[in-house]
Structure 1
Amino acid sequence: MRTKFIVSSAFITTLLIPSLAFAHTGVGDTTGFFHGFEHPVSGLDHVLAMVLVGVFAWQLGGRALWLVPATFVAIMAGGGALGLAGIDVPFVETGIALSVIILGAAVALNVRAPVAIAMGLVGLFAIFHGHAHGSEMPEDAGGFAYGGGFMLATALLHVLGIAIGFSIVKAEERHGLIAVRSAGGLAAVAGIGLLTGLL
């Protein structure tokens, strides 16, 4: 019961923060922050990838628990800057779909990658996600506020992934690990659907 409450609370918090930000005055910055926050949580591809980064970091444990998500957020900011500047990055949509497939497979197979390799992998995918966020910034949104919004939303989705890993396994250790790995496999299948245009 407590596990369900923790997961539900994290999910509800993620959904409510955009409306809280939008309630403040100062339309330009607020709108920029709102649109930035909304972008990662409005697409299945982004949500799956961000949550999978968190689950992957949880599976690796130790320093990876914070280094892997922090790497994603930091490099995503650089990718966002490229998108804002109008600098082209090839195969963005393909890279995003591949991030879901590969991260889902890594979770499903419980890949025990060295921390540096895990950071490099998520960093590569972060460029594509960041570029997509940056290049789709609305004209009336402030760049810094927009960037802050999508970075915060991304970090919260990572935290949600970590919380899911901890909560499911704490509730039922043996079956919980199977559930987490099965969810990774389903996410990888969804990524194939995204890559082929079926989703």
Structure 2
Amino acid sequence: MHPLTGMDHMAAMLAVGLWSAMTARRVWLAPISFAGMLMVGALLGLGGLQLSGVEPMIAASLLVLGLLVATQAQLPSLLAAGVVGVFAVFHGIAHGTELAGGSNGWAPLVGMLVATLGLHLAGVAMGLALRSYPAWMRRVAGGLVAVVAVLPVL
């Protein structure tokens, strides 16, 4: 349930979809990259890999993704996929580490992947809808994602 109840995960997944829908010609490339690298990171975490900077990187991902949405920055498709893919590894490691030691990590991982793809889809739908609205509304959406990055600090 974390992808649907964890504010950081939900904001990041929606932001990837929003940004892709608003700026990319290949709308699905960044979301697929994020989902794939999320699983790579989750498997690394499940296997026992622990990194010291995971939580700050998750916060940084929200800040960067929020700013990418707010500015509607257009990056080359492969660079965009790479940026979200790097952040996804850290999100995945966090979740995999939480599941490590459990009897069956596969069911929660598959559920996390399905929920992540669903949130990406919702973000894409929101981004496509926001295309016809004034630019300030897209900036507000990005700003809200960036605010989630600093909420734990407040």
Q: Tell me if both proteins adopt one fold, taking TM over 0.5 as the criterion.
A: yes
> Which runs of 5 or more structure 2 residues have no equivalent in the other structure?
none
Matching residue of 2:93: 131
Q: CA RMSD in A?
A: 1.6
Distance 1:179 1:148, change over 3 A: same
**CA offsets, 1:35-82, max 9 Å, x none?**
xxx12222111111110000111122321x111000001111010011
**2:17 matched to 1:59?**
no
Larger relative contact order (C-alpha < 8 A, sep ≥ 6)? 2
> Which runs of 5 or more structure 1 residues have no equivalent in the other structure?
1-37
Distance 1:98 1:43 in 2: 16
Distance 1:90 1:58 in 2: 33
Matching residue of 1:27: none
**2:142 matched to 1:179?**
no
Matching residue of 1:191: 149
Matching residue of 2:50: 88
Distance 1:53 1:106 in 2: 9
State the AA in 2 paired with 1:106: L
State the AA in 1 paired with 2:91: H
**2:120 matched to 1:162?**
no
Quick check: which has more Rg, 1 or 2?
Answer: 1
State the AA in 1 paired with 2:79: I
**Over 3 Å off, 4+ runs:** 138-141
Check whether the contact 2:7–2:148 (CA below 8 A) recurs between aligned residues. Answer: no
Distance 2:147 2:53 in 1: 20
1:76 to 38, 41, 45: 38
Distance 2:123 2:129 in 1: 10
TM-score by length of 1: 0.72
Higher helix share: 1
Distance 2:34 2:99 in 1: 19
Distance 2:40 2:34 in 1: 10
**CA offsets, 1:162-192, max 9 Å, x none?**
01112233xxx242x3212211012212312
Residues 41-52 of structure 1 correspond to what in structure 2 (within 5 A)? 41-52=4-15
Residues 112-123 of structure 1 correspond to what in structure 2 (within 5 A)? 112-123=74-85
